[in-house]
Amino acid sequence: MAAVLSSINLVAGGLLPVCEEPLWTAVVCEGDSSSFSPAFWLVGAHGGAGCSVLAEMLGPAGDAGQRWPSADEFPLCVVVARASVRELERAHQVVLQGLGGEIGAARLLGLVVVHHVPGKLPKPVRDKLEVLEALTSVWVVPFISGLQVAPLDGLAVWVPGDQVGGGRRRDRKKPVVEQVPPAVVEFGAAVFQAARDAARGAGGSDDEKCCESN
């Protein structure tokens, strides 16, 4: 889900800036789920993390770039980072910023790590993931063939309730313009559920509207 961006004032001093004004400014239209505020936001730990691609494939997600959406209606956040030691070190600091209460009203739900090359993760990367898993929830999205050449606005989109065939080999190999990869669906469904749980805990039925309508 691509955010409708407003002019934003930022609070200085944090590793990533904290937005004082909402990122999402679309006028809500009943029956048009694309106008609803995101149920959760993807926050890039660094440039090129993959927020825009994941947000395009996941209907309930918003792309916050490298900012904490503190002023948005539902400021529930997942940090996004690529699977390299250098970029996971950066993600580590961003996660600590979130856990340290330095992100305004935003709330950290976890970290998603995106493989950007095929093959097994190197041991130093796996070791760093273990450190991060001790701090917060961590999801891993494997390398997805074809994603690098697919047009961003042509990617398939998953929304809660969609049934995605992942058990049969031919389903798993469908191109990303026809079907959201099962690993991305699994991540999106898990975060969507975490967002629902967080909304229930934070404010009851009114806060749940973000997740019921996306």
Residue-wise pLDDT for 85-128, tens only, equals: 999 999 999 999 999 999 999 999 999 999 999 999 999 999 99
Residue 200 has pLDDT above 90, yes or no: no
Residue type, 151: P
Asked if residue 64 is part of any domain, the answer here is: yes
Inter-residue contact 38 to 24 (CB < 8 Å): yes
Please tell me the predicted confidence (pLDDT) of residue 194: 95
As to burial, measured by CB atoms within 10 angstroms (0-12 exposed, 13-18 middle, 19+ buried), residue 31 is exposed
Asked if residue 6 is part of any domain, the answer here is: no
Q: How confident is the model at residue 13 (pLDDT cuts 50, 70, 90)?
A: very low
For residue range 41-66, list pLDDT tens digits in order: 999 999 999 999 999 999 999 999 99
Determine the structural domain holding residue 93 and report its residue range: 34-153+179-198
Asked if residue 127 is part of any domain, the answer here is: yes
As to burial, measured by CB atoms within 10 angstroms (0-12 exposed, 13-18 middle, 19+ buried), residue 123 is exposed
Asked if residue 174 is part of any domain, the answer here is: no
Q: What CATH number has the domain bearing residue 61?
A: 3.40.50
Asked if residue 65 is part of any domain, the answer here is: yes
Least confident range from 7-11, 52-56, 134-138, 179-183: namely 7-11
Indicate the number of domains in the chain.
1
